Amino acid sequence: MSLETASTRVRERYDDIRRARRYRAVFFGVLVLIVMFFFYQALVMVNFTLAQFVRYGPQFLGALNEYFPITTMAGVPMLDVGQYVDFIVERNLFFQAGITLAIGLAGTILGFPFALLFGVLGSGRVTPFPFNFLFRGIMSSIRAIPALVWALIYVPLGGVTPFTATMAVATDTIGNLGRLYTDELEEIEDGPIEAMETTGANRVQVIVFGMLSQVHTPFIAWTLYIFEINVRIAVALGIIGGGGIGHVLAVQQRLFEYTNMMATILVILVLIISVEMFSQRVRSHIRADEEPMGVVELLKGFPRRMAEAFAK
């Protein structure tokens, strides 16, 4: 190859790279414009304006002063924790938190058998195609409806109460936990299954000892994870009337008692972090490759996880 030919090829390659870079720049520029257009339309639809901050900013700052009441001790300004403690004791908030915990626990246990049934039958290794998609479709339909909506669907059973909140959590568990079970079963190895079949085991024995025996550890871990989510959902259901600590928070919000609201939020924080720490420790024990999160990490992710619970 002559020097001139090599130089020509280098220039062509260089031109191709520059052309590709221009195409990428144009593509990302157009993509940014499209995203910004939809972002602007979203702001318009929700009436998001700076005027809202100007109009209601002083009111919000006043509420912050009530969220965090200040007292003085030896002339030094300090957070008045006593007001939080007084309300927690007066309204027995830890008992209300126990109701919320009971909703999450009962809903998880009630939904578990159906989640296991649909999760197993939804696997292509157990139920042949396309019949397995019948069970997958049921779980997908359940997941498509948020737990808050399920609570409203169960209103004819007696209104929005801890009972209907528990039913909503149980129904939501069937869809979410069942799908996780199905996904785990799709990843199992064929060796133990073939070994069971060669011994003359029937279909039930193959499923129990050849399949479920391989996934009992992740099944326990996923069940604990869903239990965490269900406790957060129970808080959200309480806000719409489902009882427990969430109901107390909603009542105090309607009364504009911001100090009492913060006391309630602190109890909710203690409840959620305690449940998550318990679940994390158990999951890390049964899964040796999983590192449990510390309290700081749990606290940092608390707002995001609560927002996700409201969306479920």
pTM of the prediction? 0.78
Query: For every one of its 312 residues, what pLDDT tens digit does the chain have, with 9 covering 90 and above?
Result: 565 666 677 677 777 788 888 888 889 999 999 999 999 999 889 888 888 888 888 888 888 888 888 878 777 788 878 888 999 999 899 999 999 999 999 999 999 999 999 998 888 877 888 888 888 899 999 999 999 999 999 999 888 899 999 999 999 999 999 999 998 888 877 777 777 777 777 777 777 777 777 888 888 989 999 999 999 999 999 998 888 999 999 999 898 888 999 999 999 999 999 998 888 888 877 766 555 555 556 566 656 665 565 555
CA 85/CA 92 separation, integer angstroms: 10
Q: Which of 98, 94, 178 is nearest to 138 (CA)?
A: 178
Same domain, 37 and 169: no
For 63, other C-beta atoms within 10 Å of its C-beta total: 15
The first and second tokens of residue 193, run together, are: 């299954």
- Do 72 and 78 touch, CB atoms closer than 8 A? yes
Same domain, 118 and 34: no
The first and second tokens of residue 178, run together, are: 């069942």
Exposure of 129 by Cβ count < 10 A (0-12 exposed, 13-18 middle, 19+ buried)? exposed
Q: Residue 175: which CATH number?
A: 1.10.3720.10
Query: Which pairs from 283-289 meet CB under 8 Å and 24+ separation?
Result: 283/220, 283/221, 283/224, 283/225, 286/217, 286/220, 286/221, 287/217, 287/218, 287/221
CA 79/CA 268 separation, integer angstroms: 19
- 108, part of any domain: yes
C-alpha distance from residue 154 to each of 115, 167, 202, 229, 282 (Å):
19, 8, 40, 20, 33
- 95, part of any domain: yes
**Confidence at residue 206, expressed as pLDDT on a 0 to 100 scale:** 77
CA 175/CA 115 separation, integer angstroms: 7
**Confidence at residue 312, expressed as pLDDT on a 0 to 100 scale:** 57
Q: Structural domain of residue 30, as residue ranges? A: 3-48
Same domain, 165 and 91: yes
Q: Which residue has the tokens 């109901």?
A: 247
**Confidence at residue 17, expressed as pLDDT on a 0 to 100 scale:** 81
Same domain, 235 and 114: yes
Same domain, 183 and 305: yes
Same domain, 224 and 137: yes
Q: How many CA atoms lie within 13 A of 137 on its CB side?
A: 6
Q: Which of 130, 230, 125, 107 is nearest to 181 (CA)?
A: 125
What SS3 state is found at 127? coil
Same domain, 260 and 192: yes
CA 142/CA 169 separation, integer angstroms: 11
Same domain, 41 and 90: no
- 140, part of any domain: yes
Same domain, 169 and 294: yes
Same domain, 106 and 226: yes
**Confidence at residue 39, expressed as pLDDT on a 0 to 100 scale:** 93
Same domain, 125 and 37: no
Number of domains present in the structure of the chain: 2
- 148, part of any domain: yes
